[in-house]
Structure 1
């Protein structure tokens, strides 16, 4: 078989069957011109009758545009249906011989195009078309669902509801919940606050200003015996929750406990789930009544009132009764009645394997447990850190301040936001956020003592700072004591002056960091320090104090054994005067054990000063960003004093840990004494003790009222040297 016959066969096999009509009746003439002398001879393909046409009349090919563009001519302009052939013939008659030879060569190349490539291009086009169609269909369905939900929102009678028993303990919590529904959930449904007639008018007006509707109902009799613990938890009032089933004006109600906070839209609960729907609790086969989808009905309400007195409750509260009343139905159909955990995220789930995947998709956080974001600093709860999540507590602080029209524009709030983001990146884990346990960071506060600070940084903190990782506690040597320091943060408290340019000269920039403050406040010594802080312990120290590294290393080991306490070298004492009843601040406890003694014997202490004090690194964030009572910071700023007493009250009150004092072996150097050191500080004032006494009275009677905010300790930690003893004879016993 000749080459010409082979090419013609290939062309016939790859050609598509022409449509019926004028194309079949096209001319059978072919251009037969000799190739140019300088070009290689091309075999003439056997072209079908219907395909011997101008390029403009053939079907489209993915190679056609490329070939014709490379040949240097365009498709004829006469592409109309009626005169297409006439236009082509006119163009063909006017073309020179070279162009005709190019057309013949292009036709031969088109006849040899690979069939697999054409198939692949066609399949890719169809796939793209299908994908676009599916995307448009999905987008249309979502738009249609949004329109349906929007229509239902205007026609259906839905509402959110919560319960407020009194305005003494839970008013701020309920107000923050109502505000979160408007701000974070962006809901337009009514928000009902079910309460008792005891709610004050001011509290009712505050809730109504936030967009809530206050509904007053009489409390239901509590079916169990009362004691202090049940009264503290408001269990008798919680049975008033049953009144929700009497609000038949609404088709569905989403109930949220007052200790919840909404972080994302949840309006889909009304359409996705039937009543009664709730999230599973930690106890097996039970649901948590903190978030529920319910349908008010008179018959159900009457049945509940008739049965709640005789129905057992495993927790002696409303949740146990509701599980007894609706539990069988709730367990029967999980798809209809089980809410996902992100709609009711208990902070107790932090101790489970579910927390890693759950915390990033939380819609409603439930502050269960003994500690709450509005009262965590008053609990005296030993396991406080098991129930506190600083990231979600900070979310509550932001919404609470917004609900009370308080600003977040102060400079320290930017540091709080950065620390909250850093904690969120580490899943709120203290171990991941502060991975270094065998070192500590120095937070050095300074104000207008440039010469003293310059010498202190180079004489005291620089030597021995780079030996590397410190040795174990058993093998630690004296020369390695300063290796326990990871970084030194210099907190520059004077916003009116810039630090001297040579302050950090010749000091390693990765170890010595300057933190400039935008306002003068003693509270700034507790500002969060950002991601650069990596140690679990921080040493809060003044710029006029120098303590030997061996003594500091011993105090650090004492803190490692007592991480929830404040550990330092400067203990102080407070008391309530036995005759006058006023609070007093003392350097040491007065003891009148000997009327003729002219000295005072040290016995107890309740405060450790921030002159040189070890504390947990996350306490910086707790003090500066999570304290719910902003009056504490305002008092310190107004009186320019007592930030150390406020910090001591916070740490002691929330965890019940008394301070721990350490006795130094080497002399403690204080350069702030007037007439001796460089310059006198705040404590050099004659009215200093009186101001401190006023601080204690205000803190204990106003800010920490009813809480054991200051506890006594009579133990001084000291290095073991030798136990003194002497040997005696038996006959010497009678002489003593």
Structure 2
């Protein structure tokens, strides 16, 4: 019996790896074949992942910045006492606009310029001139100013014009209550101060957001004089002190908005000793009004940045000893109040439309 034994031909069935002395593996062969066509895929995938990660970082940074901006804005409004949604009656048609209250004294030429200018401002609802001279205004002056108001006004509704005539020459007269006012907003101004209409309208919008604050263009400050041993003595600082220190606690009534209720409070509620002081010294009625508003609100005023023009000659502020008199007024008023109601701040309202950098 013969037996046939078949011998496998290794040379015919072996792979290239076996011929080269390696071990054959189907998984290795698939991996090798796949690598021929996708050798660049890992690099491309890494690049896509990097771009996605960068986009996520930028998105997160943007969201963080937005949250910070919203928070900062809300904090700033609360700090300044502003509330854009305050239900003020000035928003109603019957009380829209503002009443310009001009204090004058024997300067009819300046009064004519001032009345003509403020009559041209669209927000002016009425113009009242505080007249405290011995002789009443002439009929010629009355007729001329009424004609000027009518001709200069650009509004369909022409402003009312009236002289508020007082029998005595008293600085307290500028803050007497006015009957039949149609506005809550009072813009108190001296006859030699001109505020451009656009600047005045911006200040009015600021006042509307804080209608019980004083909003004005002339800031002043105070500080405690620590050199006085044991006594609370305060110094009154003018413009250069405000500029140097970067803070203020008053805005002067020579160019400022305030609510009409302060006319009543000044005349009927403020201590009569302060009225007597202002009448006797013929000065400092503006400091008295600042103290009154600060005492009522326990909040600082708001300084509006804007160019104003003084068209007259130098007033009492240029007289020798003016600073000492203001210091004395401030400290005497504080002693009559029994406390220091003024609140300092370093915030000012700026119209971003007129700024180079916002």
TM-score scaled to structure 1, two decimals?
0.33
Q: 1:723 to 1:462 in 2, by over 3 A?
A: closer
Matched, 1:583 2:240: no
Is the CA contact 1:435–1:534 (under 8 Å) kept in the aligned structure 2? no
Q: What whole-Å deviation, never above 9, does each CA across 1:380-408 have from its counterpart, x for those lacking one?
A: xx9xxxxxxxxxxxxxxxxxxxxxxxxxx
Q: From 715, 720, 723, give the equivalent of 2:347.
A: 715
CA positional deviation for 1:602? 4.3
Match of 1:497 among 128, 131, 135: 135
Is 1:567–1:608's contact at 8 Å kept on the other side of the alignment?
yes
CA drift at 1:683:
1.7
Q: TM-score, normalised by structure 2?
A: 0.67
Of 618-627 and 505-514, deviating more is 505-514
Please give the alpha-carbon distance, in whole angstroms, between the structure 2 residues aligned to 1:724 and 1:634: 48
Distance in 2, Cα, partners of 1:588 & 1:577: 18
Distance 1:436 1:643 in 2: 30
Q: Which residue of 1 aligns with 2:259?
A: 616
Q: Which deviations, in whole Å up to 9, do the C-alpha atoms of 1:629-665 show, x marking residues without a partner? A: 210101111111111111111111122121110011x
Shift in Å, 1:601: 2.5
**Match for residue 704 of structure 1?**
337
Number of matched pairs? 256
Q: 1:661 aligns with which of 303, 321, 331?
A: 303
Q: For 1:436 and 1:631, how far apart are their aligned partners in 2?
A: 37
Change in Cα spacing, 1:491 to 1:590, as seen in structure 2 (3 Å) is closer
Cα distance between partner residues in 2 of 1:589 and 1:545:
19
Counterpart residue number, 2:64: none
CA distance in 2, matches of 1:633, 1:582: 22
Within a 5 Å distance, the mapping from 1:212-227 to structure 2 comes to none
CA contact (8 A) 1:572 1:609 kept: yes
More off after superposition, 580-589 vs 501-510:
501-510
Query: Secondary structure of the residue that 1:535 maps to in structure 2?
Result: coil
Distance 2:173 2:317 in 1: 18
Moved over 3 A (4+): 434-437, 507-510, 588-591, 721-725
Match of 1:558 in 2: 206
Q: State yes or no: 1:520 paired with 2:169.
A: yes
Query: Aligned partners of 1:448, 1:659: CA distance in 2, in Å?
Result: 31
In 2, the alpha carbon distance for the partners of 1:610 and 1:590 equals 18
Mapped pair 1:462 → 2:119: yes
Deviation at 1:693, TM superposition (A): 0.3
Q: Report if the CA contact (8 A) 2:291-2:341 is conserved.
A: yes
Deviation at residue 584 of structure 1 after TM alignment: 1.1
The structure with more radius of gyration? 1
Aligned to 1:171: none
2:103–2:174: 8 Å Cα contact kept in structure 1?
A: yes
Deviation at 1:518, TM superposition (A): 0.8
Could you tell me how far apart the structure 2 residues matched to 1:462 and 1:651 are? 28
CA-to-aligned-CA distance 1:672-724 (integer Å, 9 cap, x gap): 3xxxx3xx322221111111100111111x22113x41110100111114574
* Counterpart Cα distance in 2 of 1:630 and 1:691: 20
> What is the Cα-based RMSD across aligned positions, in Å?
2.4
Q: Distance in 1 between matches of 2:113 and 2:240?
A: 35
RCO higher in 1 or 2 (8 Å CA, sep ≥ 6)? Answer: 2
Whether contact under 8 Å (1:589, 1:605) holds in the other structure is no
1:549 equivalent in alignment to 2:197: yes
Structure 1 residues 715, 688: closer, same or farther in 2, change over 3 A? same
Deviation at 1:625, TM superposition (A): 1.5
**Post-superposition shift, 1:587?**
0.9
Quickly say closer, same or farther: Cα 1:590–1:572, change in 2 above 3 A: closer
Structure 2: unaligned runs, 5 residues or longer:
1-80, 82-87, 151-157
Distance 2:172 2:93 in 1: 26
Larger mean CA deviation between 605-614 and 582-591 belongs to: 582-591
The 2-side partners of 1:626 and 1:612 are apart by 23
Shift of 1:586: 1.1
Contact 1:589 1:604 in 2 (8 A): no
Query: Any unmatched runs of 5+ in structure 1?
Result: 1-381, 383-429, 464-481, 592-599, 726-736
Q: Trace 1:151-162 onto structure 2 (pairs within 5 A).
A: none
Whether 1:483 and 2:122 are equivalent positions in the alignment is yes
1:577 Cα deviation from its structure 2 partner: 1.4
Q: Report the equivalent of 1:693.
A: 327
The answer as to 2:102 corresponding to 1:440 is: no
- How far residue 462 of structure 1 moved from its aligned partner, in angstroms, is 3.1
Q: What residue number does 1:633 align with?
A: 275
Shift of 1:511: 1.6
